[in-house]
Structure 1
Amino acid sequence: MGTMPATGTETTAATKEADLKLEAVVIPVSDVDRSKKFYQDLGWRLDADFSFENGFRVVQVTPPGSPASIQFGTRITHQRPGAAEGVYLVVSDIVAARDRLAALGAEVGDVFHPEAPGAQFGQVPDGRAGGLATDRASYGSFATFHDPDGNAYLIQEVTTRLPGRVDTGATNYASLNDLVGALKRAAAAHGEHEARNGGAYDENWPQWYAAYMIAEHHGDELPQ
């Protein structure tokens, strides 16, 4: 019996059964120990530092609250040092994140937002305007910094995910800061909710908070 090619439906079903979780991104550096110190000074967790007799060395660090990591070392990539660019770091409060990185010694740029629809990281400094995005729109505010070799990181503020970009089977927050930020936004929205209802105390506020936070996390319509 001949073998028939898999249909699109069968391929999609098979793919859904096999999780492909992004674990680490490799960046090229010229001085492994210098890079290791730089990232540790930023508070990134050191996960591994393995060396082998053939000269291979791999160091893995993880940014706070991140499920994925950064790897660098010797004989680990053919890229020239500093060639990595546009590595995204998502934060819930870009002003706080930028100030924190600067306090820890990173040369981080000022917060900016795209000056026109469609402006991308690769187009800066053209296409950028200083300051936060209008109404502090989710996905709209950015800052950049570089490691000692020039590998570029783009920090992006994301508070509400677009529909379809979150696993609808779970609601979780990667860090204390993410949870605190979500609670603050829910509190502000709930204050407006109470005002619309005559300012009366809402004894069901825990349920309202929970519904708001879940909807915001999944990119669904927010409760009013």
Structure 2
Amino acid sequence: MDETAQRRQVPIQASPEKIDMKLEIAVIPVADPERSKTFYQSLGWRLDIDFQGDDFRVVQFTPPGSECSVMFGRNITAAKPGTGQGLHLVVADIVAARIDLIKRGVAVSELFHDAGGIFHHSDGRGIRQGPNPERKSYASYFSFNDPDGNGWHLQEVTARLPGLPGDTSFSKQLYRAVWGERT
């Protein structure tokens, strides 16, 4: 029996330990890869890949400090251009990030926050102008679109919450410790 056949016969055991799963790439649908490449370069993102085959193109950028990249091109997704929505970039200083993008020529929204304090609603309900009045972590945003209309939000995170275990009483205690009582 050759080595390949022997490997196929080794049973695969599921590990009871946690398996690391890292979000590596977010694919966004675009109409014109060259126009999108120019746009994402203007943001100051690192160009990782620009590969073209006979019937496809793959362009990949990584935002500064991110471990997740953005990929777009030709014939790499069936999604319609501009349908990528709810993409979030986390920054430590929402005001500085907004100023930086404006200086780069990006049309950005005004700063906003959710009145409830947790997350902005896609329908605009509960959205208030300006950053969160107490500048709570996870609570202040602004947005922009790429040339195809793919929607990005920048979110200010100044103190990261730990991952929450399944114990909801712990989750409630942690929420109160970070956010206070909800009104």
Q: Identify unmatched segments of 5+ residues in structure 1.
A: 1-9, 166-220
Structure-2-length-normalised TM-score: 0.78
Hey, what's the Cα distance between the residues in 2 that align with 1:118 and 1:11? 36
- Overall identity of the aligned pairs, in %: 50
Shift of 1:65: 1.0
Name the residue aligned to 1:34. Answer: 35
Q: Deviations over 1:121-156 (max 9, x none)?
A: 4122x3211111021000010000000000000110
Name the residue aligned to 1:149. Answer: 148
Name the residue aligned to 1:89. Answer: 89
Q: Pick closer, same or farther for the CA change 1:102–1:136 going to 2, 3 Å.
A: same
Name the residue aligned to 1:49. Answer: 50
Does the residue aligned with 1:154 lie in a helix, a strand or coil? strand
Name the residue aligned to 2:107. Answer: 107
Name the residue aligned to 2:23. Answer: 22
Hey, what's the Cα distance between the residues in 1 that align with 2:136 and 2:94? 12
Letter in 1 for 2:115: E
Asked whether the equivalents of residues 114 and 120 of structure 2 are also in contact (C-alpha less than 8 Å), the reply is: yes
Name the residue aligned to 1:190. Answer: none
Q: Deviations over 1:68-122 (max 9, x none)?
A: 1100000000110000000010000000001101110111101100023555341
Aligned length, in residue pairs: 155
Q: Pick closer, same or farther for the CA change 1:12–1:89 going to 2, 3 Å.
A: farther
Q: State the superposition RMSD in angstroms.
A: 2.2
Q: Pick closer, same or farther for the CA change 1:84–1:94 going to 2, 3 Å.
A: same
Asked whether the equivalents of residues 25 and 70 of structure 1 are also in contact (C-alpha less than 8 Å), the reply is: yes
Shift of 1:11: 6.6
Higher relative contact order (CA 8 A, sep 6+): 2
Structure 1 residue 138 and structure 2 residue 124: aligned? no
Does the residue aligned with 1:13 lie in a helix, a strand or coil? coil
Q: Counting strand residues as a fraction of each chain, which structure ranks higher?
A: 2
Asked whether the equivalents of residues 139 and 156 of structure 1 are also in contact (C-alpha less than 8 Å), the reply is: yes
Does the residue aligned with 1:135 lie in a helix, a strand or coil? coil
Structure-1-length-normalised TM-score: 0.65
Does the residue aligned with 1:129 lie in a helix, a strand or coil? strand
Name the residue aligned to 1:128. Answer: 127
Asked whether the equivalents of residues 119 and 139 of structure 2 are also in contact (C-alpha less than 8 Å), the reply is: no
Q: Which of 8, 12, 16 is the equivalent residue of 1:13?
A: 16
Letter in 2 for 1:97: A
Hey, what's the Cα distance between the residues in 1 that align with 2:63 and 2:159? 21
Hey, what's the Cα distance between the residues in 2 that align with 1:117 and 1:65? 26
Letter in 2 for 1:13: P
Asked whether the equivalents of residues 87 and 152 of structure 2 are also in contact (C-alpha less than 8 Å), the reply is: yes
Q: Pick closer, same or farther for the CA change 1:32–1:131 going to 2, 3 Å.
A: same
Hey, what's the Cα distance between the residues in 2 that align with 1:122 and 1:130? 15
